[in-house]
Structure 1
């Protein structure tokens, strides 16, 4: 009650005609973050629900927490392992927290500054989508990426990947993947190779003999085998992007998204089915010798399936379309991994490609439904 009264007292100052009326969008962003707005949508496409966008985004952020916390720990774990030291739990967790926190801070500061700037310039509400995007961007990056690259990639993702389309809800491509794609094509050495995945390796710190920072996907793409056990890959004790290594932690987040109804199970399940089916096809043809299900537990496959492919803005909107887009996303990811060994991680490009095709898939699904109804109407008329 005290906070509500405090905000009510401040509101006239930030409303139209007040001393700080030009900051109305900024004040509204903080007010609606603290309290559910008492407004009702009267026009445009919308969902009638007691929940709002900010609360929905917060659920997604909560679902990301298991993968993020494990990412903290694994960052420290891999660092100490590379130094020939026994990784201790709290020391590894603290090391990883200190290493990853600046990346998260840079992502949010740069992204929110741009979001608030566009909102003020356009005179509209601050879009809530960056609550999730600001967390996703650090989680899909290698731990040793320079902070200035994170800032540039975040700015590119927000401006080119979202704001030019009209802001949250209008973007065609997933902004977090736009940021990763920007870094991959603009600064390839900083997001590939064996050094970037372990804190300290790219800066020249010494490592014990025999230690390799190569990811499981890089090993599968070059030798057809990986030096890590399937259990370690599933649990996440392998090099990789900050939030993508632990399939178990990602599945915990998936359970929350599915329980709350925030993410579509149709898309999520279809991605795994598409990837698994394509993996078994290549295995049956003798193209790959390793188990097909390895694709599901290494690289960014699980993370992409749970948190990226299910993005309600950039994915398909129809139920049938979700099955199609999800299946094709998983299939394209595995196809890219197997056919192009020089580019072992195919999930990013698969999702971005299907982001572009999703509206077309929805169009044909709707047209097919209209055609069936017309035929049914003709039969009834006869």
Structure 2
């Protein structure tokens, strides 16, 4: 991916930008651990070319490049990306083999057979993609992003709020649906919800730019993430699709927020 950016920088006569370093670190964190390296390389190349460079390069992309890479693999190689099992390592003292394939936490949640406690999920003692398992580590990362001013706390908070609201609504109308009856706060500590809210939805390029728009953008992201996760049996994780969808509508949200401000100010001016 970085090599591709070098090529485009030379072709356009631009300076080499360090923007890919962030995407280059995020992409491995959101991929299943058993994903072949050639698939990750292919997805990274696709994300850099079609998710970034075709729009003009760093700072011009519409969608989060790391999520474009995952989305490419999800639709091109769905068996590897959307299955309900994951590679799990065994303790040295107990193993005859190095690992086995078991159900993912979200797959367990969908069937109601949770084999882990909330504390295990919070600290990260559950299987999953490298970046999504430990909510504690994600919170530490969120604190760093907020303190340094890199990540928007408004987007983080509103995304969590949207997820909580949708989780509560689904709990109310759960009926006999096991996944809908899952306590709303469980959704915050399993799967990629927390990681997406902190590191993906807050992308300063593809997220909403206006202050009010950030609240709207984040809240809708949280709602869609839980809605897709629970109501789509073919894909028990909705954070990726929710963020990419809201990336698409972020400029529209900003447009209407700005227009509302203009109308409000024009109305105030006309009163004098």
- TM-score bin (small chain): over 0.9
Moved over 4 A (4+): 205-209
Given the alignment of the two structures, is residue 376 of structure 1 paired with residue 264 of structure 2, yes or no?
A: no
Cα-to-partner distance string for 1:91-125 (whole Å, 9 max, x where unaligned): xxxxxxxxxxxxxxxxxxxx110011110111101
Supply the distance in 1 between the matched residues of 2:43 and 2:231 (Cα, whole angstroms). 28
1:191–1:206 Cα change, 3 Å:
farther
Supply the distance in 2 between the matched residues of 1:118 and 1:372 (Cα, whole angstroms). 43
CA RMSD of aligned residues (A): 1.9
Given the alignment of the two structures, is residue 155 of structure 1 paired with residue 34 of structure 2, yes or no?
A: no
1:207–1:343 Cα change, 3 Å:
farther
Pick the structure with greater CA Rg. Answer: 1
Q: 2:240 aligns with which of 328, 343, 348?
A: 348
Cα-to-partner distance string for 1:56-96 (whole Å, 9 max, x where unaligned): xxxxxxxxxxxxxxxxxxxxxxxxxxxxxxxxxxxxxxxxx
Shift of 1:194: 4.5
Supply the distance in 2 between the matched residues of 1:291 and 1:207 (Cα, whole angstroms). 35
Shift of 1:193: 2.5
Cα-to-partner distance string for 1:315-360 (whole Å, 9 max, x where unaligned): 0000000000000000000000111122100000000000000000
Given the alignment of the two structures, is residue 279 of structure 1 paired with residue 167 of structure 2, yes or no?
A: yes
Q: 2:120 aligns with which of 227, 232, 244?
A: 232
* Structure 2 equivalent of residue 291 of structure 1: 183
**1:235-274 to 2 correspondences below 5 Å:** 235-274=123-162
* Structure 2 equivalent of residue 82 of structure 1: none
**1:32-47 to 2 correspondences below 5 Å:** none
Shift of 1:286: 2.3
In structure 1, list runs of 5 or more residues that go unmatched: 1-110
Supply the distance in 2 between the matched residues of 1:278 and 1:167 (Cα, whole angstroms). 35
Shift of 1:274: 0.3
* Structure 2 equivalent of residue 193 of structure 1: 83
Supply the distance in 2 between the matched residues of 1:360 and 1:220 (Cα, whole angstroms). 35
Supply the distance in 1 between the matched residues of 2:114 and 2:109 (Cα, whole angstroms). 6
In structure 2, list runs of 5 or more residues that go unmatched: none
Given the alignment of the two structures, is residue 144 of structure 1 paired with residue 34 of structure 2, yes or no?
A: yes
Supply the distance in 2 between the matched residues of 1:181 and 1:280 (Cα, whole angstroms). 28
Supply the distance in 1 between the matched residues of 2:192 and 2:209 (Cα, whole angstroms). 23
TM-score (normalised: structure 1): 0.67
* Structure 2 equivalent of residue 166 of structure 1: 56
Shift of 1:199: 6.2
Given the alignment of the two structures, is residue 321 of structure 1 paired with residue 206 of structure 2, yes or no?
A: no
Given the alignment of the two structures, is residue 113 of structure 1 paired with residue 3 of structure 2, yes or no?
A: yes
**1:17-96 to 2 correspondences below 5 Å:** none
- Say which is worse superposed, 119-128 or 189-198, in terms of deviation: 189-198
TM-score (normalised: structure 2): 0.93
For the Cα contact (< 8 Å) 1:225–1:290, is it kept in 2? no
For the Cα contact (< 8 Å) 1:194–1:215, is it kept in 2? yes
